[in-house]
Amino acid sequence: MREGFSGRIERRWLGPSTIWLVATIGSAVLWSIGTGLHPIPGIALLAPLPVLWLAPRQSASVVYAAAALSWFGGNARYWSYFIDTLDQPATIPVILLVGGALTFGACIALFRKLLIQGRFGWAVLALPALWTSVEFLVSMVGGIGAWWSIAYSQAEVAAIVRVASITGVWGISFLLLAVPSAVAALMAPGIRTARGLTVVGVAAGAVIVAIGAGQWCSEAASGGPVTRVGLVAVAQPPMYVPVATPDGARMITEAVAAVDQLADQGAEVIVFTEKAWHARQSELWLLRDPLSAVAARRGVHLVVGLELEQPNGTVNAAIAYPGETVYAKRFLVPGLESSLQPGTTSVRIPGRSWALAICFDLDRPALVRQNRTDGATLILAPALDFTVDHWLHSRMAVLRAAESGIAIARPAQLGELVAVDAQGAVQASVRTDLTETRMALADIRTAGDRTPYVRWGDWFAGLSIMLAVAGGLAALRRPVAQPRRPRESVDQS
């Protein structure tokens, strides 16, 4: 058999260890810039390719190590975010980073096994299916919702985002790994060109169909009325400000002025940030009276965020005026909000198809989907971020909007004031900090029909689990063709 180009490179210039190191570092670098708090769109599609190329050319243990280390190296920067920024116990980043590395290693190992058995189609399907299955299971039992997903790296790519209207976030994660898997299968030693092109062609066709169907479904689901929304982050001291203090009074005065300014520009609803104030139940009138008065005078709805001390415990609340409709945040940040009581029910503003949520709630696809199922067309969600995560956490709202075909207004202190329409398109984005009051105004089209994801739920995650199991079972069977073994110069498994 004639020696391929990559084989000549390995024999003449690079040894197996050097190739392994280059592939590992290459994938790690691509993961680092293609995912995370500030990813570059599209790079995540390339990140698996170096270790995928390596998979059929070196032994199973060596390939597993390369994949696991590349994932760990590319995501190790999360350590300081979890420990220093989110003040999480070390067990959380250890579980996520080590667990993610072991999972990615297993995905690449499964791909390798199926590839050298000659099951090229299963190799392309099983890798993304296994990864997507784990993402889904972590979202169900991990306490962080769908936060740990590579799909958010594509939040700026509208064509990909809208696929979520059919599959949820899981379909995007699948796509991000299926495409490089198909390319790597085409480059695998021993695969006949016709067969490789067939695999790639089918994969490309599936991607095109998914993007086209996502566009169609997303457009159909965003036929609701346009609502003009104002978003406000009032300048404040670093900690939550008691309403019965001079700073609290000043912030209320600035809030009233912001309402007047945005109402002059036609805002129908104005949303403030999460935990801007702290109040006892007996002090709530200090906030209620001026905000109810300006809401009634200007004919607008207001939503404010505060810590509210109630008889049965303190809650992270969003309160809508006029009417003082109170929503308690249902999903609290582990550790940081351990002293607070979680809410238990969804809340709508009376007379409107607007639901209330708060920050971390939006990391739960099921919560947003349930609100849409119950008839909500717009979610008003005060938020509080940590500056360094302003892009990532705000763009999670983009995926939630696209999934459920629902508009979302998410003003975050130390983050971004973000307004997202029912197709997942960002209509306003303004950075915020504590030193200056910031405002944004946007016309956002709200929900029309329900998306397939709202109707069918996490069907694609279930399909991924079945494909992962089927791929694992296929790997245990006899190969359909004589497998291509790695070169003799490399240790065998």
Structural domains counted in the chain: 2
What would the 3-class secondary structure string for 104-160 be? HHHHHHHHHHHHHCCCHHHHHHHHHHHHHHHHHHHHHHCCCHHHCCHHHHHCCCHHH
DSSP conformation letters of 7-31: HHHHHHT--HHHHHHHHHHHHHHHH
Q: What percent of the chain has pLDDT over 70?
A: 94
Distance CA 41, CA 10 (A): 32
Four-CA torsion 323, 328, 329, 332, nearest 10 degrees: 160
**Inter-helix orientation angle 60-75/16-34, to 10°:** 30
CATH of the domain at 248: 3.60.110.10
Region 390-412 average pLDDT: 97
In this predicted structure, the answer to whether residue 490 has a pLDDT above a threshold of 70 is no
Q: What is the pLDDT of residues 215-247, one digit of tens each?
A: 999 988 888 999 999 999 999 998 889 999 999
- 141 within some domain: yes
Buried b / exposed e across 77-111, counting CB within 10 Å, b at 16+?
ebeebbeeebebeeebbeebbeebbbbbbbbbbbb
The whole-number pLDDT of residue 8 equals: 54
For the chain, helix, strand, coil in percent to 5 are 55, 15, 30
Distance CA 127, CA 104 (A): 9
Q: Do 181 and 281 belong together in one domain?
A: no
Q: Which two tokens stand for residue 393?
A: 């956490």
Region 413-426 average pLDDT: 97
Rg (alpha carbons) of the chain, rounded to whole number: 25
Q: Shortest CA distance to 180 belongs to which of 160, 161, 200?
A: 200
327 neighbors 306 (Cβ within 8 angstroms):
no
Residue 270 phi, psi dihedral angles, 5° rounding: -130, 130
Q: Do 402 and 464 belong together in one domain?
A: no
Q: Do 180 and 193 belong together in one domain?
A: yes
Q: Which two tokens stand for residue 12?
A: 């003449």
Q: Do 229 and 344 belong together in one domain?
A: yes
Give 321's strand partners.
302
- 241 within some domain: yes
Residue pointed to by tokens 């570059």: 40
- 51 within some domain: yes
Which range, of 64-68, 130-134, 186-190, 381-385, averages the lowest pLDDT?
186-190
- 490 within some domain: no
Structural domain including 128 reads 16-220+458-476
Distance CA 223, CA 225 (A): 7
413 neighbors 381 (Cβ within 8 angstroms):
no
- 332 within some domain: yes
Question: 3-state DSSP call for residue 404?
Answer: helix
In this predicted structure, the answer to whether residue 479 has a pLDDT above a threshold of 80 is no
Distance CA 280, CA 299 (A): 27
Contacts of 311 (CB under 8 A, 6+ apart): 281
The whole-number pLDDT of residue 332 equals: 95
- 3 within some domain: no
Q: Do 368 and 276 belong together in one domain?
A: yes
Residue 317 phi, psi dihedral angles, 5° rounding: -115, 150
Region 377-382 average pLDDT: 98
- 488 within some domain: no
Domain limit, last residue, from 447, 466, 484: 447
Q: Do 268 and 161 belong together in one domain?
A: no
Q: What is the pLDDT of residues 44-89, one digit of tens each?
A: 999 999 999 999 999 999 999 999 999 999 999 999 999 999 988 8
Distance CA 426, CA 229 (A): 13
Q: Do 161 and 281 belong together in one domain?
A: no
Q: Do 115 and 165 belong together in one domain?
A: yes
Dihedral sign, CA of 426, 431, 433, 436? negative
The whole-number pLDDT of residue 302 equals: 98
Residue pointed to by tokens 């607007």: 354
Q: Which two tokens stand for residue 486?
A: 């790695």
Q: Do 80 and 199 belong together in one domain?
A: yes
- 1 within some domain: no
Q: Do 175 and 52 belong together in one domain?
A: yes
Q: Shortest CA distance to 302 belongs to which of 282, 284, 286, 324?
A: 324
Cα 230 off chain centre by: 24
Which range, of 25-34, 64-73, 120-129, 196-205, averages the lowest pLDDT?
196-205
Q: What is the pLDDT of residues 178-191, one digit of tens each?
A: 999 999 998 888 77
Give 314's strand partners.
309
The whole-number pLDDT of residue 180 equals: 96
Q: Do 443 and 341 belong together in one domain?
A: yes
Q: Do 27 and 58 belong together in one domain?
A: yes
